[in-house]
């Protein structure tokens, strides 16, 4: 019996930095029978083991063009993690990345895990963003950082492993015995006892009033938990 946690991950970054290439590479490498094909590359899933758990990443791609910027909150709402991608050959994209980080800090889910991916590291000869800059910045905001190449499949796994490690493990006692977490797909699954609610952040994302008192806030942590039978 192994717990499957569904983790919503959103992809942010300028258009053209290779957001979807990273995901395609991540999802499609190492062919896995268990992957259920999605209908398009904007939304993909992949399950990876992490300790005693299985992390099922539900990866939400966003459109990077500025005109869609205002839609982003709908995408990162309820995310457990965000992958913010920049292009190491474009200083502008790193600037945009900083804006995203700031927006996430202000309006994103509380405790969202942030991972910075400097993509196109295969083109380091025309690099504009030094790795040092990215590392320093990532450190200052407590984010995972890695330079990737979706083209050459460099550091893609590592990126998501880094995210997995940052996701706090479930307390087995809490979800095993108290019945608060039902098995299977259920609204109560999103609720993890003892976790701060990702709600009521300054200007956005108030606690959803929709739920009755007996139900946890919807989408908290973007984490769901199901049990995989030992088939």
* Binding-site ranges for other proteins (CB under 8 A): 1, 6, 8, 11, 15-16, 19-21, 23-24, 37-43, 45, 58, 60-71, 73-75, 77-78, 98-99, 102, 176-177, 182-187, 189-190, 203-206, 208-212, 214-215, 218-219, 222, 224, 226-227, 229, 231
Q: Tell me whether residue 132 or residue 185 sits nearer to other proteins (CB atom).
A: 185
Q: Could you tell me which residues are beta bridge partners of residue 86?
A: 118
Q: How far is the CB of 186 from other proteins (least distance, A)?
A: 4
Which is nearer to other proteins, 142 or 177 (by Cβ)?
A: 177
Task: Report the candidate in 188, 193, 182 with the shortest Cα–Cα distance to residue 219.
Answer: 188
Q: What tokens appear for 130 in the block? A: 């030094």
Taking the C-alpha atoms of residue 171 and residue 220, their distance in angstroms, rounded to an integer, is 16
For other proteins, the closer of residues 61 and 147 by Cβ is 61
Assign residue 54 a region (left: φ > 0; alpha: ψ between -120 and 50; beta: otherwise). Answer: beta
* C-beta closer to other proteins: residue 1 or 126: 1
Min separation Cβ 65 and other proteins, Å: 6
Nearer to other proteins, 95 or 124 (CB): 95
Nearer to other proteins among residue 121 and residue 205 (C-beta): 205
How are the residues of the chain apportioned to helix, strand and coil, as percentages rounded to the nearest 5? 35, 25, 40
**At its nearest, how many Å lie between other proteins and the CB of residue 125?**
25
CB of 177 to other proteins, least distance (A): 6
CA dist 178 and 176 (Å) reads 6
CB of 92 to other proteins, least distance (A): 13
Give min distance, CB of 173 to other proteins, in A.
Answer: 12
Backbone angles phi, psi at 223, to 5 degrees: -110, 130
Encoding tokens for residue 194? Answer: 């003892």
Which conformational region is residue 157 in: left (phi greater than 0), alpha (psi within -120 to 50 degrees), or beta? alpha
Would you state the torsion angle of the CA atoms of residues 10, 14, 17, 18, taken in this order, to the nearest 10 degrees? 30
């Amino acid at each position: 019996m192994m717990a499957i946690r569904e983790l919503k991950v959103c992809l942010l970054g300028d258009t053209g930095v290779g957001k979807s290439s990273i995901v395609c590479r991540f999802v499609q490498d190492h062919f896995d029978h268990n992957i259920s094909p999605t209908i398009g590359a904007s939304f993909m899933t992949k399950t990876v083991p992490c300790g005693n758990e299985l992390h099922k990443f539900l990866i939400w791609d966003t459109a990077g063009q500025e005109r869609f910027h205002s839609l982003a909150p709908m995408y990162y709402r309820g995310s457990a993690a965000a992958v913010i991608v920049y292009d190491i050959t474009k200083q502008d994209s790193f600037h945009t990345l900083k804006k995203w980080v700031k927006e996430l800090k202000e309006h994103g889910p509380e405790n969202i895990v942030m991972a910075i991916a400097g993509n196109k590291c295969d083109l380091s000869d025309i690099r504009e963003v030094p790795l040092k800059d990215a590392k320093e910045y990532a450190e200052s905001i407590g984010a995972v950082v890695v330079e990737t190449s979706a083209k050459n499949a460099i550091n893609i796994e590592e990126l998501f492993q880094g995210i997995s490690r940052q996701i706090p493990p479930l307390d087995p006692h809490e979800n095993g015995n108290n019945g608060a977490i039902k098995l299977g797909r259920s609204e109560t699954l999103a609720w993890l006892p003892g976790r701060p609610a990702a709600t009521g952040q300054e200007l956005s994302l108030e606690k959803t009033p929709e739920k009755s008192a007996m139900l946890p806030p919807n989408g908290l942590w973007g984490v769901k938990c199901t049990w995989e039978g030992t088939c």
